[in-house]
Amino acid sequence: MKLLKDKVLQEGIVLSDHVLKVDAFLNHQIDPALMLAVGEEFASRFAKDGVTKVLTIESSGIAPAVMTALQLKVPLLFARKQKSLTLRDDIFTEKVYSFTKRETSEITVSRKFLSPEDRVLVIDDFLANGEAAFGLARIVQQAGAHVCGIGIVIEKAFQPGSQKLQAAGYRVESLVRIASLTDRQIVFAEDAEDVRVQ
């Protein structure tokens, strides 16, 4: 997706060999026109999958996910990271280790919004080790629903998330894939000679 690639190059800040900051258009300030384009792209890639619900995790997944849900004409559901005040019987919970925060948190989704008939498209802003995506997929499985696929705005292809998810049988669609962030340089997978998973 050229629009997104250009934005990553122009406004992305490489914080370390492993972390890219995109708070100018995705993680803090949001570019709505770009998010609309992101939503259109995911919706077209999953147009034939009979998606009934889009699932993401708060907060940075919400913008791309809501635009995808808008295009697919289905509801957007986001997993909460805070402890819910509702009864535990009413919620699905999973533990997720956060790559950026280096801590495990519990994510929760109300049982009332996922049912076995649902066909769920999981969306997230970044893919690193796959923890968040696997956590969301496990919630879908707890509900007895089907995961149609996983849509990622920015995949860091030098980390193992995508390989692990695909090995587990999930379809992964990433809009941009980054091969390396070494020496403060953003190298996209399509421009790299090879992608080394660390």
Smallest distance from ligand 5GP to CB 85, Å:
24
Give the DSSP H or E segment for 28. Answer: none
Structure tokens at 10: 């122009």
Return d(Cα 33, Cα 43) in angstroms, integer: 15
Could you give the string, one character per residue 24-43, with x where binding to ligand 5GP holds by CB under 6 A and - elsewhere? ---x----------------
137 sits near ligand 5GP (criterion: CB under 6 A): no
- How many C-beta atoms surround the C-beta of residue 148 within 10 A? 22
Q: What is the DSSP letter of 88?
A: G
Smallest distance from ligand 5GP to CB 60, Å:
5
Could you give the string, one character per residue 82-111, with x where binding to ligand 5GP holds by CB under 6 A and - elsewhere? ----------------xxx-----------
Could you give the string, one character per residue 115-134, with x where binding to ligand 5GP holds by CB under 6 A and - elsewhere? ---------xxxxxxxxxx-
Would strands 91-98 and 103-110 be described as parallel, antiparallel, or unpaired?
antiparallel
Return d(Cα 116, Cα 94) in angstroms, integer: 18
Using CB under 6 A as the binding rule, the residues of this chain from 144 to 173 that contact ligand 5GP are 156, 161
Smallest distance from ligand 5GP to CB 152, Å:
8
Residue 48 sits at the vertex; the CA angle it makes with 127 and 142, to the nearest 5 degrees, is 55
Which of 52, 60, 108, 180 touches ligand 5GP (CB under 6 A)? 60
20 sits near ligand 5GP (criterion: CB under 6 A): yes
Return d(Cα 43, Cα 156) in angstroms, integer: 22
Q: Tell me which residues touch ligand 5GP (CB under 6 A).
A: 19-22, 27, 60, 98-100, 124-133, 156, 161
